[in-house]
Amino acid sequence: MDQSDRLRGETVAVWATVVCFLLGAVTALAALGPASRPLIGSGALALPAATIAGVIAGGAFVVSTLRHRRGETRPMPRWQKVVTDVSAIALTVAFVGVTGLGVLLGMQVLAIGLQGLELTTVGGALVTGFAAAVGGRFAFAAGIGLRTADLSSILFGYLVIGTLFAMVTAADPRWWEVNFSQLGIGDDAWAFNGTLIVAGVLVGTVGAYIGRDLHRVLGDPALGRIAITSGLWIVTGVGLAGVGLLPLHRFPEAHNVVAPVTLLLFAASMTMTAVIVPGAPRALTITTIGVGALVGVAFVLFAVFGLITMTALEAMAVGLGLLWMTTLVRVLAILSPDVPRASRRAHLLHG
């Protein structure tokens, strides 16, 4: 892509941002009503603004995808088209969730810094339009050409935003003395549980994109192993979403089964992916060994010596896992070509 094409693309992105702002502001004007609203609390601006901005961001991703990648799946067999389309749908849901939760966290922070502030309908519409413009701009850019590394960064950022929001709104301020599952208890438990559900969608989608990159590198002969690898990531995502759908205070037995099983699935997905990546890149090998060793040490410190809490163990395991995933997608970005690769197989697991 030459300089003129990039400038033209930037102009289109600016117009998309303007359209998202106008859609957000006009929709808010129609939805908020005449009364002034606080940022958070009963009858607040936060929830309608988050809903409007999230839906517009999802729409921006759909429009951008159709505009820039409409013919990408044309030469692909049906199963590959289905995988690509389902991944796009999952990403649309993820952008809605990421944008909505980001707006909710932003409102919570503003409410702390601007205590007592109430916005008129026009003020609320402008804030909503701004949120829709920011979310729509990122989603539109993602629709132009989303790499696995970008998706991993979205997952990392979303988990951080969602967990911070859950901490701020936690019913028990001393939740950290037990474990992260305590954030899923109470009136505002939807923040943490919703974060896990959308994060599960993102993890499954990352798995599909990892499979896409591996296929671009290894081709059709490796489709069986690629399918197993992507399948493990997708099941891991389902498990993570299940942890959110089965909160501890309502389904304690099921939650206490699904949570550790999801961690085991995550470890199995990491191991399978590390094995299948061609050439055993040194960066990925070192990171895999280092992450495994550090998690093992953390478990011993928790289970044998009692020097760290369960919360600290969970934070270390998740943080190191995301570090490993970041290394993986960067390695795949180096190994994988940017152009789509259509399979010559009529079916996924046999020719």
| Span 307-344, pLDDT tens digits | 888 888 888 988 888 889 889 988 988 888 888 888 88
Please indicate, yes or no, whether residues 142 and 152 belong to a single structural domain of this protein.
no
- How many domains, in total, are found in the chain? 2
The CA distance from 52 to 49, in Å, is 5
Residue 194 sits in the same domain as residue 247: yes
Last residue of a domain, one of 116, 146, 176: 146
pLDDT value at residue 168: 78
Residues 161, 300 share a domain:
yes
Same domain, 64 and 137: yes
Helix/strand/coil for 76: coil
- Considering the domain architecture, whether residues 137 and 153 belong to the same structural domain is answered as no
Same domain, yes or no: 126 and 258: no
Are 137 and 255 members of one domain? no
pLDDT at 184 over 80: yes
Output 127 or 8, whichever has higher pLDDT. 127
What pLDDT does 349 receive?
67
Q: How much is the pLDDT for 44?
A: 92
> Within this chain, do residues 336 and 247 fall inside the same structural domain, yes or no?
yes
pLDDT surpassing 80 at residue 3:
no
Count the Cβ atoms, other than its own, within 10 Å of residue 50. Answer: 24
What is the pLDDT confidence band of residue 99, given thresholds at 50, 70 and 90? very high
Is residue 105 very low, low, confident or very high in pLDDT (cuts 50, 70, 90)? confident
Phi first, then psi: give them for residue 119, nearest 5 degrees: -105, 140
pLDDT at 1 over 60: no
> What's the distance, CA 243 to chain centroid?
16
Structural domain of residue 8, as residue ranges?
1-146
Helices (H), the chain: 3-32, 46-69, 78-113, 121-144, 148-168, 189-218, 223-245, 252-276, 282-303, 310-335
Instruction: State pLDDT tens for residues 26-83.
Output: 999 999 989 999 998 888 999 999 999 999 999 999 999 998 887 788 888 888 899 8
Mean pLDDT of 13-24: 95
